[in-house]
Structure 1
Amino acid sequence: MLKDILRTLSLTPILFLMFGKLNAQTLITPANLSQLNIAQDSLSTYSDSTVTVKDDIDRLAYNTMFVKKLVGALKTPHSFQFEFDSLANNLSFLKSPNQTFRIITWSLPFSDGSYKFYGTIQLATKDGSLKLIPLNDDTKNITDDNLITSQKNWFGARYYEIIPVTYPGKNPYYILLGWKGNDNKTSKKVIEVLSFDKDQAVFGKSVFEIKKKAANRNRIVFEYAKMNSMTLTFDKQVNMIVFDHLAPYENNMEGNAAYYVSDSSFDGYSISYPRLYFKENVELRNDASSLDELYSTPRKATTLFQKGKH
């Protein structure tokens, strides 16, 4: 008898989690789920074509059709619950931990080595109807990468990690780590901040400490030699964003990003409301790991310590 009671109690958390997951899935009816699966297959074909075709005009045409089909699929009731797993190679779907929105981003490569970024923010709705905030990549017209922007003049990137920053009584904001590409000489990565003002998306926030007594920055952009790989990741154990320190591999090329590479040292941003505090000389203490080449993150930050403080 006692064994049966203990067995039941041990299964309760598992059953609760399973029920919670199933309850979320049941918001999508079988008919709508079938519709989304069919749409996903079609979307995968168009998405792959935007990458494999060699002509830029054809690439844009396939992408235009892809966007129309994606919006059509998202109009399916409760599509917010559908993961679109088969699109993961070409698109990023990042859902906020509080399940209030997800941000969908992808890039379009061109033959000259440049990129254009596409994206949208899908908001969760009680009735399952579609509510989107389309993102317009306006990078070519942004002369100052420290500007606070909106969805209309987005500093485009393909985001691969989302980190919520919360504080009691304050509106949360979200840190996004993204790959930005650039041209045939350099690549870029970005630490972006997303917040919301009513139904408007706001990108950038004065939270990044650079130096003591210096003005904070609204976003952080890294630019480095295209042949180089760069780590930019979040370590939950120490609540810190960690990244390679970049330096020119030839001393006389200071300021020329095409010559900047990782110098085997690491810096970071410690996350603490209301700002992120810059930390120099943090060290990775784990083995390298192979991650998605698109993001060029061959090392995974798990255990960190500051040099001289251990």
Structure 2
Amino acid sequence: MKALLIPCLLLMGMIPALAQDDRMRMQQMEDELKPLAYTIMNDDDFVTRFRADSAFIRGLVRALRTPHSFRYRFDSLSSISQLYAPDSSFRIFTWQLQMEDMNHFRQKGAIQMRTADGSLKLIPLFDASKYTEAPADSVRNAQNWIGAVYYNIIQTKYNNRNYYTLFGYDENDARSTKKWLEVLTFDVNGNPVFGGRYFNYREDDLKPRQPAFRFCVEFKKKANAKLNYDPELDMIVLAHLVSEEGDNKKKHTLVPYGTFEGFKWLGGRWVHQPDIKEANPDARVNPDQTRRKQ
């Protein structure tokens, strides 16, 4: 699997470059997007955040309509997550909007596909989290996506098919945070398919009930429980959690215990490994970088 983690920059050399005039226009549009992205995450007034979010979406789409925009990285938009697939076949933008009650969040997102002629193929993602009480129970599409702000993406293969595992977080509410593992594939028409029977583990009171089509851990606010891929171990590493009140059903009381479990890609599934030793700390995007400053 390690051989599949190809740096995007190597593959980006195969994509036609932006024309100089187009690059300059995109830089100007990025300058216009930057204060909007900041306002979405930091303004105290919901109406102001909402209007900035709407303006940001319109501006981002306008910028992405530039021929060969796939190659352009919006590096100054630090509060907007943008991840390229390891094979550079697509990139995914995600961010979050704090709602009016200040205790809940709505995730926003879009997938930009790489196209041979440089034209825009953009797939908007619509967060349906608030409409379900069982977000792990089904395969989803772009119209009923379980929202998350993604901070890592890895690529695996099985039977000559590509699988993209997304690592995301959701601020959830005032007491707890969620982290998600989501396997993304594409159907024969190029449409994104979120989830599937990719997680093999024994049920316990900390994990989603089987059958689980995506994996979630929920824990105490700001506890920052680890969930990420470790390239040295070639595994997903997950912190063991323990309740501060001795009640695992109270997700807002769960904190890292200091030991780790994880998942290994075997036979087209992520197979649970109950006890592992951590090799590296999180080395990719820090989820805190894309959170609203409190």
Provide the TM-score with structure 2 as the length reference: 0.86
The answer to whether structure 1 residue 27 and structure 2 residue 17 are counterparts is yes
Q: CA deviation at 1:180?
A: 1.1
Paired residues of 1:113 and 1:183 also in contact (CA < 8 A): yes
- The CA distance in 1 between the partners of 2:45 and 2:229, in whole Å, is 37
- Report what 1:152 is aligned to: 143
Residue 272 of structure 1: how far off its partner (Å) = 2.0
Deviation at 1:148, TM superposition (A): 1.1
One-letter amino acid of the counterpart of residue 147, structure 2: G
Secondary structure, counterpart of 1:50 in structure 2: helix
1:181–1:188 contact (8 Å) kept in structure 2: yes
- Corresponding residue of 1:50: 40
What pairs with 1:133-152 in structure 2 (closer than 5 Å)? Answer: 133-146=123-136, 147-152=138-143
Measure, in 2, the Cα distance between the counterparts of 1:238 and 1:127.
39
Counterpart pick for 1:167 among 158, 164, 183: 158
Distance across 2 between alignment mates of 1:23 and 1:209: 37
1 CA distance for matches of 2:11 and 2:180?
33
Partner of 2:234: 239
Name the SS for the 1:162 alignment partner: strand
Residues 1:278 and 2:272 aligned together: yes
How far does residue 217 in structure 1 lie from its aligned partner after superposition? 2.4
Aligned in 2, Cα 1:293/1:193: closer, same or farther, shift over 3 Å?
A: closer
Unaligned runs of 5+ in 2: 1-6, 204-208
Kept in 2, the 8 Å contact 1:166–1:273? The answer is no
Check if 1:218 corresponds to 2:208: no
Choose from 80, 89, 92 the match for 1:103: 92
Match of 1:3 in 2: none
1:258 aligns with 2:239: no
> Are positions 1:190 and 2:180 aligned together?
yes
> Contact 2:41–2:96 (CA<8 Å) still a contact in 1?
no
Secondary structure of 2:249 counterpart: coil
Contact 1:148/1:203, CA 8 A, preserved across alignment: yes
- Post-superposition shift, 1:59? 0.5
Percent identity between the aligned chains? 31
Query: 2:199 aligns to what?
Result: 208
State the distance in 2 between where 1:268 and 1:283 align.
10
Show CA shifts across 1:132-160 (max 9, x none): 11100010002212221110000000001
Picking from 72, 76, 81, the partner of 1:92 is 81
In 2, the alpha carbon distance for the partners of 1:286 and 1:159 equals 20
Q: Determine whether 1:228 maps to 2:223.
A: yes
CA drift at 1:41: 0.7
* Bigger-Rg structure (1/2): 1
- 1:23 deviates by 5.2
SS of residue matched to 1:129: coil
Could you say which residue in structure 1 is the equivalent of 2:4?
none
Report the residue type matching 2:154 in the other structure.
Answer: I
Shift of 1:221: 0.6
Cα RMSD of the aligned pairs, angstroms, is 2.5
Alpha-carbon contact 1:145-1:221 (below 8 Å) kept: no
Which amino acid counterpart does residue 249 of structure 1 have in structure 2? E
More helix by share: 1
| Highest RCO, 1 vs 2 (Cα 8 Å, sep ≥ 6) | 2
Question: Would the alpha carbon gap of residues 237 and 145 (structure 1) be closer, same or farther in structure 2, given more than 3 Å must change?
Answer: same
Contact kept, 8 Å, 1:210 with 1:216, in 2: the verdict is no
Q: Give the secondary structure class of the aligned counterpart of 1:69.
A: helix
- Contact 2:84 2:90 survives alignment (8 Å): yes
For 2:114 and 2:89, the matched residues in 1 are separated by: 5
- 1:112 Cα deviation after fit: 2.2
2:54 pairs with 1:59: no
SS in 1 for 2:31: helix
Report the TM-score, using the length of structure 1 for normalisation. Answer: 0.82
The answer (yes or no) to whether the contact 2:11–2:87 under 8 Å persists in 1 is: no
Amino acid at match of 1:149: R
Which amino acid in 2 is paired with 1:181? E
Cα displacement string for residues 236-285 of structure 1 (whole angstroms, at most 9, x for unaligned residues): 1221000111121112x331111111111111001123111101121225
Matching residue's letter, 1:232: L
- Which letter does structure 2 place at the counterpart of 1:271? W
